[in-house]
Structures are given as structure tokens and as C-alpha cells.
Amino acid sequence: MRKTTKTPAVGRWVAAAVALGSCLALAGTAPTAGAVPADPVPTVFFGDSYTANYGIAPVNNEGTERVFCFQAKENYPTVVTRRLADKGITLSVQSDVSCGGALVHHFWEKQELPFGLGELPPQQEALKDDTQLAVGSMGGNTVGFSRILKQCSAKLRGDEGALLPGTPVDGDEPAANCREFFESGDGKEWLDAQLERVGWELEELLERIQYFSPDAKRVLVGYPRIVPADTTKCLTAAPGQTELPLADIPQDALPFLDQVQKRLDDVMKKAVADAGANFVDLYALTGANTACDGADRGIGGLFEDSQVKFGEQALPWYGHPNEKGRDIQAQRVADKAAEVLNQ
């Protein structure tokens, strides 16, 4: 089978062939367990706005259409690369194709940029035969988390949420009723279907990485926790802020939003386990750095000004990691990368 970006779903026979090849390779001389890779590791980073680290300035690709990916120059792939270098592990970054707004299927299909500003090729085109490490986060946009937020926030449905992709799941339902909407009837059916779709699309993504880069260690990175277990924290503005971290989302909906994140985390873990890949479980590790943790927050509030401006107007964080959150992502990803590369 010739490897092209139009290659259909890889299929079990391809995975079996790759697995057989791996077993035969293991019959030869194996590297010493725990040894630091001696040569630079060809690496590809992929993903959505959580890999791109939307909200952190300055951004990459000024003067090109990719500037609208809002990929930070100091996103977690950049920080991970430095931290691994400090451990004696050199990444040779072949590409970082992370882009805000990317859905899982943009790994194998082109992505339309906002405002009709062009399109980007499938992210899988960054993979090479010699890629040895592929790392990134995807799934949040496919589950429709921004649409869920807009279902639960009247403010996000207005002009203040115009730059956040998507529309409410059902704009006729008042935002105040969002929890009830998602826990029964059409809302529940929609959410269950979205989570199911994320699962099989992530399996496809991981299978494609293995097909195009058979020797690559695959690391899927989960999403940091946004809502704390104690939702009363969300009733207090962060230091220096006047808006509540989760704005006008009803307090009774906050545990539901956290449950959605937990369900997404579980779906991602299952896809990784089924594919024999690796997972960075940020949800489990960031409960003390949610959007509602004040000075310790690793997530910028929905309407808190980020570092990125559109003209003279600062864009909101819309619930993305700030620099503290980015550093938490980077530390956990660097630890996992070192672990899998040293195996």
C-alpha cells in the first residue's frame, strides 16, 4: 500500500503487520533499558489549541494564514523540547502542526481557517518514515466543548463569545437550563454520540500515526481540569479580575461540565489503551490548578484577557491554559516522553 494522505482507514491487517515487524525487530540487538537516546529523536507535535497554547503571546507564523492557528512561540512543545534537552534527550522537531480549532478528523482531512482565510493540509502530512515520537492533544473540539459552554452561558452566545468556535447545541433552550438539557432527551443523545465519535476517531488517529511512522512512540495528551471538585471556588473572581472565572454558567451546571471532562478523559484513555499508545492524564493531575483556583489557576477564565490581541483588543482566554498551566502541561509531557524514549 502506497502511503498517501488519502490512504483510507488502515485496517487491522496493517496493524498486525506492523506488530509482527516490531516483534521481529526485537529479536535483534535491543537497546539497554533506561538508556538515554544517543541521537536526536525525530519528533512531530500535532493537535488543537491546547497544544498550540492559544492565549500565550507572542504567536508563531506572523504574516501567514497560520497565524490564525494562534500557536504560541512558547507553547508546551517548545518548552518540552528544552526540558528534555536538560535531561540529555535531544528532540529533532520535524514539525509542530498544532492549530486552534482543529478537530480529530483534521488529522487526516484539511482544516478550514476562520473568516474564510484559507485552509491547512491534514496534520498527518507532517509524519515521516523516520519519525520516532508523535505527541499532541485532540478530542475537545470534536466532543464540542465550546458548543457545550455556549449552551450553558448566555454571555458566550453573544458578541463576547464570537471568536469561540461553534454555536449552542440548541439555541432555543435557555442557558440556565443547560444541565437539565444535557441530562435527558436530545441533549443527552447528542452528548453521548459526540463522545462515541471521539473514541473511534482517536483510534483512527493513533492507527494512522503507526502506519505512516511505524517506529514512532505515540503520546496522546489529555486536557487539564477546568472545574474544581469544590465548585464554590467558582463564585469568587480571581485576583485582579472582576468577572467570575466561569462567567454566568449556572453553578448547578458546573459539576456537569466537570463530568463531561472526566468522560472525555476516560474516552481518551480507552483509545490509547486499545491502540497500545501512551497517555498523559492531565485531568487527574490538575485538580488544584483549575480556572477557579485563584492565584494558583492554570486555566484562564472564560472572559479574562489573554496575552493575545486582535488589533488593540485582548482576546479572552476562553478556558485555556495560562503560562502556569502551560508549564504544568510541559512538565508532565516531558516526563512521559522521557519515560517512553528510555524504554
Look up cell 486582535; give the residue. Answer: 310
Distance between CA 167 and CA 152 in Å, rounded? Answer: 11
Q: Which three cell numbers stand for residue 207?
A: 492507527
Annotated catalytic residue within 60, 75, 98, 141:
141
Beta strand residue intervals within 31-146, DSSP E: 41-47, 91-96, 111-112, 119-120, 133-137
Residue 182, helix vs strand vs coil: helix
Among 144, 187, 320, 325, the one annotated catalytic:
320
Sheet containing 41-47, strands listed edge to edge, beginning at the edge strand earlier in sequence: 91-96, 41-47, 133-137, 217-221, 278-280
- Residue in 101, 136, 222, 301 annotated catalytic: 101
| SS3 label, residue 317 | coil
Task: Report d(CA 48, CA 38) in Å as an integer.
Answer: 31
The CA angle 52-57-60, to the nearest 5 degrees, is 55
Angle 159-147-251 from CA coordinates, rounded to 5°:
85
Residue 141 is a catalytic residue: yes
For the chain, what is the largest distance between any 2 Cα atoms, rounded to a whole number of angstroms? 64
Is 101 catalytic? The answer is yes
d(CA 110, CA 255): 35
Residue 13, classified by CB atoms within 10 Å of its CB into exposed (0-12), middle (13-18) or buried (19+), is exposed
Pairing of strands 111-112, 91-96: unpaired
184: left (phi over 0), alpha (psi -120 to 50) or beta: beta
By annotation, the residues acting in catalysis are 49, 101, 141, 320
